[in-house]
Amino acid sequence: MPKIVALHELSQEQIHRIEDAAPEYEVISGKYKELPSGTVSGADILMGWSGAAAEEALAENSQVRWIQVWSAGVDRMPLQELDARNIQLTNASGVHSIPISEHIFAFMLAYARNLHQAVRHQSRNEWDKSGIFHELSGKTAVIIGVGQIGSAAARIAQAFGMKTVGVRRSGKDDPHIDVMYTTEELDQALGQGDFVINILPLTEETKGLFNADRFAAIKEGAFFINVGRGPSVDTTALVDALKSGHLAGAGLDVFEEEPLPADHPLWNMEQVMLTPHTAGDTEHYNERVMDIFVENLKAFVEGSPLPRNVIDYERSY
């Protein structure tokens, strides 16, 4: 009997959904270290991933043909090895559109209405009305990496009366982006933003993309948001742009080094808001990943191409 192995505990409801979609498959779930040796290599489909399971999943005798990971980013996956073994890889892209777009606007609204300073004053029992209070209406949001999350963020931005500028590899139009640029035109787009929002995946092309030159291209006084990948930003260059005042502030959820070291200067910069890589977290996470997995599973069982979130190994996303 073919097997589906989940590297975490599944609820009975989740197991029933899988069994309904693939009645000929045995479903096994549990943490890797608790599973008998050979369970992963004997799986046809693997749900989840861990470094501990990698050796077995990629072993010569492994039967794994498809891996569904629980994250959107796959930059830490052994993509070359998976490609060489003809293992299909699907991610959780689409799960994050709502929580991350809302997280982006949490940063933007907090900055615009000076809430980050108000919270600091509250912690010190200070009644302080100083500061500049902005409005999002009439401002320009530049969204770097327009996919599902970027499109969702742009839709919200338009509802606030903002102009939306997008950057994506193809330059393909999006209904919620007023002006779209290709990645080759990145600097031209950066110069227009009051808010610059990085949602890029991590690839060889995006690693360190936001360096001193990129920050210099951003309009002076802009607010920078990173909810993409930490290593796409040169942190030293970011700190320098903040210290000089070229950037008015930043909202950061991801970092080159995680956890962010306790002595890092970003912690104590009052114009910076930090969250510990939680922008994509939501109480609905697992059910949304299951929706993606079950839709793909039905196609897999029928021998049809997987319809959602298949990773292109050449592009690394």
| Residue 57 token pair | 């999943």
Sign of CA dihedral 205, 210, 212, 215: positive
Expressed in percent and rounded to 5, the helix, strand and coil fractions of the chain are: 35, 15, 50
The reply to whether 205 belongs to the active site is no
Residue 183 vs residues 144, 204, 313: alpha-carbon distances, Å: 8, 14, 20
Choice among 65, 246, 264, 277 that is catalytic? 277
Taking residue 226's Cβ as centre, other Cβ atoms within 10 Å add up to: 25
The answer to whether 143 and 153 are in contact (CB under 8 A) is yes
Q: What are the start-end ranges of the E strands in the chain?
A: 3-6, 26-29, 45-47, 66-68, 88-90, 140-144, 163-167, 179-181, 195-198, 222-226, 247-252, 272-274
The reply to whether 229 belongs to the active site is yes
The reply to whether 116 belongs to the active site is no
| Residue 73 token pair | 């980013």
Choice among 120, 184, 258, 315 that is catalytic? 258
Choice among 96, 168, 176, 229 that is catalytic? 229
* Catalytically active residues, by annotation: 229, 258, 277
